[in-house]
Structure 1
């Protein structure tokens, strides 16, 4: 097949436009570099009247907003999902892993929960503490200046609490707790679980003239039309296009591989244009991969050449290994005191929790080595299809008949809606070499590119952590005056853990380290095997921590991008 080559030579080619790719684009363009951004999905701007879904009513959807077309609902800003037609992935040895992809400018940052937590000092050195996994080759002090920069540039609300492993940052004012969250505070404190204002990247006050302020519609998952929440497109890519560098966007373009010269050094990328289905090549001095942990691993393993017969950056055979996702388990309770609530006021707030509980336990006294935080949900936000509770489970538990048609359904919806409080645990799993993705030798996608095959199992530590989650959930929900729905899940239900990949925090496939024999990148996320290729998504993570990974992706991408600029100036790349 003929490959069409572009004669332009870019200073940097950035693959992916999410948190890592977006930050790299901003930093490199601000430094005056000529940057090409290659994105597998279409252009997206939540302020575009043709694309925005914020403030649209469920009845405007033929499915009443249900998630039959998009996994989180018709109006959610995620073009993709766990299953994408024509882009399969497979599994090995009967194991499970669900891989979420969001193909669009800004990637998954358009619809993520925007929980913006720093990793703490212990999170970079856990092996030294508990003997499991490996320490990072960097410390919190190496990343702290970049966390500070991210806080100030993007904006995050919260409060300073002086908690050792949940470091403080530069915070905007947090919103006040809503009624169901006040109930949670009561139950958590009675259980001995601390509660603090959330740390989330929505602007509660203006920080510049390019972005508006949150107006508490509670629909951040639809991406904000006034750019008040953080999305990589609106907060990084769009500003980068206005900077002194040049940014060219290549959307609807699926990268096949990184191309190399006779010396094994990267020369650019080849990609398939979805619109004409032809293959093209871009040339660049530096290639920056931010396609997401698994997509970047796939690109590297598919980038085989005489110089890199096992795939680019894979002389160690570590690419794809040590894949791990956050643990996740949920529980819900009916709270009689929240029944028959008045609906004459706005209780939407930001698109997520106003309070949360960071990990409070001492793992040295528990039977699992890593912790979790608790997220809270419920309240009186805009109802979606099903209006917040499973009618059959509700009826079975309480021995009542809820729902029906017409006035009866309307009456019951008003009576019970807002009377449920839910808790979600999001915890740290241990990174194991035997949890991995690899290239399936027998399957390609519709573009002819070999796909990933996954092998993943939870360990006993994750199971024990999940048991602790459910014990804690039951205590808190009971102590806040709730009637816990459903029974505690057992071994046959994996102790209530979501299938790996379902929390969408996958990390670790291109881990960083000082030894090229046991890692893929160095501490600046630079491939050991090709010094002009960098990885700026969550692939280089040595461990996940019990925090959401986006803030750390952003900070590390900024750090790596500054290093790229420095090395280009010194003509080392």
Structure 2
């Protein structure tokens, strides 16, 4: 752990919070031609050595090397085409460079455009059999939309002032984090929970990084050097419970540049999420004080009224939910449409809730399971 993370661990111990090594989906040893992380700290720019997980490097490129994958670039899917029996027969898409419509035929189709775009594609795929969108007799397409609950608070820690300068990058991102620790607490005023992400250290100085320090010349420089690296930040990421007021639908008037109708969003936090964000604030405040610091509320475009703006954490899930009852869900437990047996959805859209963990690796695991089921159904001739 970095210096500020050691102080967080000590504060966590005082307060009874578990501060453990974080899981970052980065290689510590070479694997299948991907090098181990060499601590360059440029994860946000894309990992040149593919040490950090990304679908493009870890999945798409290896699949292309098999010679069994054909990638069509600059294609904007417009709608799924269906035959008289209701099954998907192909995909209509816009070729962006020529702005012309093209079609590709299929035996089966797996939609994985992200939760909202997958719902948009299905809602726009209308026919006589499915006037409200393909596989949408339940009316659940676009419903159950969720995003991660977010709240952040920072503080200045005097113990970190004037530290000797050193490279504290290490493996990208946080080296420790706090998992949800009140699973058995029945007294709290919200369901489920959240985890805590931790920021701090000697990040690359940038414009706006020292706002609040006034002066000019030598005095200003002295202030900046003194406080550089002495700030910590805590970000809570929590579970949202689906509600009837939060969903997406096709906008009856607006289209994108390709002439495809876009989504219109309705979003509302319930008291569950609002109370959860208040709990985050109190916890972060206690952590900063336990570190000997002073909490400093931060201005964030992501937040409004003490909680994140819906969609700003970009962990959208739901919209094409799975379930056992076709009247209340769009997909079965294998992410196969109840009404269209050769249609599958394999992103976060099938999720019926949005746990505090980031959704990516759960998407991967679920997609793997769906792929195995589809392969077996195709082998049996059911698809």
Is the structural similarity TM-score above 0.5? Answer: yes
* Range class of TM-score, shorter chain: over 0.9
2:170 corresponds in structure 1 to 349
1:199 corresponds in structure 2 to 23
1:527 corresponds in structure 2 to 337
1:58-77 counterparts in 2 under 5 A?
none
User: CA contact under 8 A between 1:321 and 1:436: conserved in structure 2?
Assistant: yes
TM-score by length of 1: 0.64
1:165-564 counterparts in 2 under 5 A?
177-208=1-32, 210-243=33-66, 246-343=68-165, 345-361=166-182, 362-387=184-209, 389=210, 391-392=211-212, 402-403=213-214, 409-486=220-297, 493-494=304-305, 496-564=306-374
Compared with structure 1, are the counterparts of its residues 307 and 488 closer, same or farther at alpha carbon in structure 2 (3 Å cutoff)?
closer
TM-superposed CA distance for 1:572, in Å, is 0.7
User: CA contact under 8 A between 1:363 and 1:371: conserved in structure 2?
Assistant: no
Compared with structure 1, are the counterparts of its residues 339 and 286 closer, same or farther at alpha carbon in structure 2 (3 Å cutoff)?
same
User: CA contact under 8 A between 2:125 and 2:133: conserved in structure 1?
Assistant: yes
Matched residues in 1 for 2:264 and 2:357: separation? Answer: 27
Task: Give the alignment's Cα RMSD to 1 decimal.
Answer: 1.8
TM-score by length of 2: 0.95
2:71 aligned counterpart, secondary structure = strand
User: CA contact under 8 A between 1:363 and 1:370: conserved in structure 2?
Assistant: no
Query: What does the per-residue CA deviation read over 1:411-432, in whole Å, with 9 as the maximum and x for residues that have no partner?
Result: 4332211100000000001111
Query: What does the per-residue CA deviation read over 1:33-87, in whole Å, with 9 as the maximum and x for residues that have no partner?
Result: xxxxxxxxxxxxxxxxxxxxxxxxxxxxxxxxxxxxxxxxxxxxxxxxxxxxxxx
Runs of 5+ unmatched residues, structure 1: 1-176, 393-401
Query: What does the per-residue CA deviation read over 1:498-553, in whole Å, with 9 as the maximum and x for residues that have no partner?
Result: 10111111101000001110001000000111110100000000111121111110
TM-superposed CA distance for 1:205, in Å, is 1.6
Query: What does the per-residue CA deviation read over 1:425-449, in whole Å, with 9 as the maximum and x for residues that have no partner?
Result: 0000111133100000011111000
Matched residues in 1 for 2:48 and 2:374: separation? Answer: 33
Matched residues in 1 for 2:299 and 2:316: separation? Answer: 26
Compared with structure 1, are the counterparts of its residues 488 and 385 closer, same or farther at alpha carbon in structure 2 (3 Å cutoff)?
closer
Compared with structure 1, are the counterparts of its residues 493 and 224 closer, same or farther at alpha carbon in structure 2 (3 Å cutoff)?
closer
TM-superposed CA distance for 1:259, in Å, is 0.8
- The number of residue pairs the alignment matches comes to 380
Compared with structure 1, are the counterparts of its residues 421 and 441 closer, same or farther at alpha carbon in structure 2 (3 Å cutoff)?
same
Compared with structure 1, are the counterparts of its residues 410 and 525 closer, same or farther at alpha carbon in structure 2 (3 Å cutoff)?
same
Compared with structure 1, are the counterparts of its residues 188 and 497 closer, same or farther at alpha carbon in structure 2 (3 Å cutoff)?
same
